[in-house]
């Protein structure tokens, strides 16, 4: 019987002693230390670019996970039967930071600022689809998806509780999305040069390892505005803390201490936080699920988004009016 994990690991010049299934990945004890085998959704070219980028980061003194090359010197291995792609990389042991601890959140954004400073010193040629303008298209697509779902629900004769709540609050979120896009598109040409951003900077991807902080899971890295990482992290932390204004200000000012934010970057941050990303996520999950039965959990998530909306908008207005 074919064992996929064994088949993938056989592509590496490495001795495997034990393999344990972890959360969405495999932890491997090897003669080169612990490694993590995990799925990779990107192309082989992006995998090699990530390998080169992580090597350059470490050369510049920023401790980061490293990718193991295959016997044929590829960064990405591939299942011969399914075509699934994988990365084998360093296994970093540590504890995720807590959204309830201010010092850990501030330490994380401090590390993020230092990371962006370091990443800005690395120049690697990339395809146009990897640049900031391509990333902006993602937000434009999210907006179109909101409209598409609205049109779909509007044409349904018998609406579920989820759909009724969604339609009641759709117009407000559409306006916020349009304002966000107008701002981001308006400043795109004069924006700060993009750097290789982490792409998914949140509490799950920041570990405390023997008292030191380390970023992990760079699989979504992309050339983008540096504040896109900051906006993503702030959104996650603030959702967990009811959009607390003092916390938001503390995080922005801590980042600014180590990487000074320019005026346009405050505008970018405003635009990114204004987009109703959580509302879109609920929308996206709805479209990919059965419409005949919506779980109570999905309804609760939608209600939570709506419950926090006034606090979210007040936060954005108050923080950015203060920052000018």
Q: What is the pLDDT of residues 179-208, one digit of tens each?
A: 999 999 888 776 667 899 999 999 999 999
Q: In this predicted structure, what is the pLDDT of residue 126?
A: 74
Residue 186's domain is classified under what CATH number?
Answer: 3.90.1200.10
pLDDT at 228 over 80: yes
Choose one of 59, 91, 123: the last residue of a domain.
91
| In a shared domain, residues 17 and 109 | no
| In a shared domain, residues 42 and 85 | yes
Domains held by the chain: number: 2
- Structural domain including 26 reads 4-91
pLDDT at 222 over 80: yes
Q: Is 228 exposed, middle or buried (0-12, 13-18, 19+ CB in 10 A)?
A: buried
Q: What is the pLDDT of residues 5-52, one digit of tens each?
A: 888 999 999 999 999 988 889 999 999 999 999 999 999 999 999 999
Q: What is the pLDDT of residues 157-187, one digit of tens each?
A: 889 999 999 999 999 999 999 999 999 988 8
H/E stretch holding 28 reads strand 26-30
Phi-psi label, residue 210: left if phi above 0, alpha if psi -120 to 50, beta otherwise: left
pLDDT at 1 over 60: no
- Within a domain: 74: yes
Q: Are 215 and 205 in contact (CB under 8 A)?
A: yes
Choose one of 64, 91, 118: the last residue of a domain.
91
| In a shared domain, residues 212 and 107 | yes
- Within a domain: 111: yes
Q: In this predicted structure, what is the pLDDT of residue 116?
A: 97
| In a shared domain, residues 271 and 123 | yes
Task: Kindly state the greatest CA–CA separation across the chain.
Answer: 64
Q: In this predicted structure, what is the pLDDT of residue 204?
A: 96
Tracing tokens 């309804």 back to the chain, one arrives at 299
- Within a domain: 70: yes
| In a shared domain, residues 292 and 155 | yes
pLDDT at 291 over 70: no
| In a shared domain, residues 64 and 117 | no
- Within a domain: 96: no
pLDDT at 292 over 70: no
* Averaged pLDDT of the chain: 91
- Within a domain: 304: yes
> From CA 130, how far away is CA 137, in angstroms rounded?
11
Angle between helices 161-187 and 296-323 (to 10 degrees): 30
| In a shared domain, residues 44 and 150 | no
Q: What is the DSSP string of 58-87?
A: HHTT-----BPP-TTS-S-EE-TTT--EEE
| In a shared domain, residues 166 and 234 | yes
| In a shared domain, residues 179 and 239 | yes
Q: What is the pLDDT of residues 90-142, one digit of tens each?
A: 999 999 999 999 999 999 999 999 999 999 999 887 766 666 667 788 899 99
| In a shared domain, residues 115 and 199 | yes
Residue 288: which pLDDT band, with cuts at 50, 70 and 90?
confident
CA nearest to 176, candidates 303, 285, 284, 270 = 270
Residue 324: which pLDDT band, with cuts at 50, 70 and 90?
low
């Amino acid at each position: 019987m074919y064992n996929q994990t064994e088949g993938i690991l056989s592509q590496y010049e490495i001795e495997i002693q034990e393999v344990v299934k972890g959360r969405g990945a495999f932890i491997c004890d090897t003669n080169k230390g612990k490694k993590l085998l995990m799925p990779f959704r990107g192309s082989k070219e992006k995998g090699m670019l990530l390998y080169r980028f992580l090597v350059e980061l470490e050369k510049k003194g920023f401790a980061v996970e490293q990718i193991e090359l295959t016997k044929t010197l590829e960064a990405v291995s591939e299942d011969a039967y399914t075509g699934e792609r994988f990365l084998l990389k360093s296994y970093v042991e540590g504890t995720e930071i807590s959204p309830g601890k201010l010092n850990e959140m501030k330490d994380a954004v401090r590390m993020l600022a230092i990371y962006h400073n370091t990443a800005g010193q690395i120049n690697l040629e990339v395809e146009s689809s990897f640049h900031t303008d391509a990333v902006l298209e993602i937000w434009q697509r999210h907006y179109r998806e909101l409209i598409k779902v609205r049109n779909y629900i509007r044409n349904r004769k018998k609406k579920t509780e989820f759909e009724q709540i969604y339609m009641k609050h759709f117009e407000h979120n559409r306006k916020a999305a349009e304002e966000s896009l107008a701002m981001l598109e308006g400043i795109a040409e004069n924006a700060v040069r993009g750097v290789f951003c982490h792409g998914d900077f949140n509490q799950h991807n920041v570990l405390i390892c023997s008292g030191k902080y380390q970023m992990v899971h760079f699989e979504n890295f992309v050339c983008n505005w540096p504040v896109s990482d900051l906006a993503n992290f702030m959104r996650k932390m603030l959702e967990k803390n009811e959009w607390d204004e003092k916390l938001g200000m503390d995080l922005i000012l801590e980042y600014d201490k180590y990487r000074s934010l320019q005026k346009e970057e405050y505008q970018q941050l405003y635009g990114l936080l204004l987009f109703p990303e959580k509302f879109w996520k609920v929308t996206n999950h709805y479209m990919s699920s059965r419409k005949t039965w919506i779980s109570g959990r999905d309804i609760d998530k939608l209600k939570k988004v709506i419950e926090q909306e006034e606090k979210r908008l007040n936060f954005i207005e108050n923080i950015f009016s203060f920052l000018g």
